[in-house]
């Protein structure tokens, strides 16, 4: 769960962040004392829940909430304040909750249990991949848009490798099936950069690992039907219809292996 906390008072912000971390130990909390910095961060990192102080110098929490809702219409806004007169206006904005200060872990936990908009993958991974049929990749349930089609294919190949690191030569041999592999090295560097920078912009760069000139992914950080199949998830196996990453010829070998596994059930 991606959580934003905003309060212009240093001590109040520290207390709010601490309480959120105690209430959601597996969440990721980003705290800011300025609304413009919070919006800048949110524009690059999808936010599930935002705890906003209403009474702040300059831009108040109500104005900040409108900007965040422009970015994410289904974001859960929870206002924190020491004044009760703002409750009516807060709920007219369809806020998810309203916490009177001090914002204790107990108060925060109660509000998180009654969110207006369910948080997708709250207990899972932000990145998910679909491999049965055509390959698709999502972050927080939204399709990822790469600059190059080969960037998506590179990620697909790394997913197919299931965590094994791949060299430049291995990648080129599979992604470009011709007799001049050296001619693609420069293009591959651009493709690799695009794949990594796109994931970085979405705050998901940790799914990629690089060591000694090789690159791979961390399967535990990606929800994927292929990975679940390999773990003998019967529900996922039932969704496999003999098709795996159809748009990539190099995936035929893995598809054959999956069909063989199904035949031995």
- Convert 176-214 into a string of H (helix), E (strand) and C (coil): CCCCCHHHHHHHHHHHHHHHHHHHHHCCCHHHEEEECCE
**pTM score:** 0.56
- Select from 84, 13, 15, 72 the least CA-distant residue to 39: 72
Please report whether residue 120 resides in a domain. no
Note whether 106 and 140 are same-domain residues: no
List the pLDDT tens digit at each of the 265 positions of the chain.
889 999 999 999 999 999 999 988 777 899 999 999 999 999 888 888 999 998 888 778 888 999 998 888 888 999 988 765 555 665 566 677 788 889 999 999 888 888 877 665 544 678 999 999 999 999 877 889 999 999 999 999 999 999 999 999 999 999 997 667 678 899 999 999 999 999 999 889 899 999 988 999 999 999 999 999 999 988 888 889 999 999 999 999 999 999 999 987 6
Note whether 222 and 145 are same-domain residues: yes
Residues of the domain holding 217:
127-263
Note whether 136 and 257 are same-domain residues: yes
**Which residues partner with 6 through β-bridges?**
32, 52
Note whether 147 and 255 are same-domain residues: yes
Please report whether residue 13 resides in a domain. yes
Listed residues 88, 112, 136: the one ending a domain: 112
Note whether 133 and 202 are same-domain residues: yes
Note whether 35 and 105 are same-domain residues: yes
Note whether 9 and 70 are same-domain residues: yes
Angle, CA of 98, 99 and 100, to the nearest 5° = 125
């Amino acid at each position: 769960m991606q959580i934003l906390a905003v309060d212009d008072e240093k001590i109040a912000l520290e207390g709010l962040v601490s309480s959120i971390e105690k209430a959601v130990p597996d969440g990721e909390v980003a705290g800011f004392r300025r609304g413009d910095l919070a919006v800048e961060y949110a524009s690059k990192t999808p936010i599930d829940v935002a705890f906003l102080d209403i009474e702040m110098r300059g831009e108040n929490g109500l104005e900040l909430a409108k900007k965040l809702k422009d970015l994410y219409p289904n974001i859960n806004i929870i206002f924190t304040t020491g004044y009760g007169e703002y409750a009516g206006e807060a709920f007219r904005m369809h806020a998810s909750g309203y916490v009177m200060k001090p914002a204790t872990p107990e108060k925060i936990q109660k509000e998180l249990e009654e969110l207006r908009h369910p948080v997708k993958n709250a207990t899972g991974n932000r990145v998910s991949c679909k491999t049965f049929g055509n390959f698709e990749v999502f972050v927080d349930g939204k399709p990822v848009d790469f600059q190059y089609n080969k960037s998506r294919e590179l990620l697909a190949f790394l997913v197919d490798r299931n965590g094994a690191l791949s060299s430049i030569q291995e990648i080129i041999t599979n992604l470009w099936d011709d007799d001049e592999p050296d001619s693609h090295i420069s293009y591959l560097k651009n493709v690799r950069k695009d794949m990594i920078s796109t994931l970085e912009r979405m705050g998901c760069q940790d799914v990629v690992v690089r060591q000694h000139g090789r690159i791979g992914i961390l399967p535990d950080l990606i929800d994927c039907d292929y990975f679940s199949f390999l773990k003998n998830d019967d529900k996922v196996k039932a969704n496999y219809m003999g098709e795996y990453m159809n748009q990539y010829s190099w995936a035929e070998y893995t598809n054959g292996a999956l069909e063989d596994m199904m035949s031995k059930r």
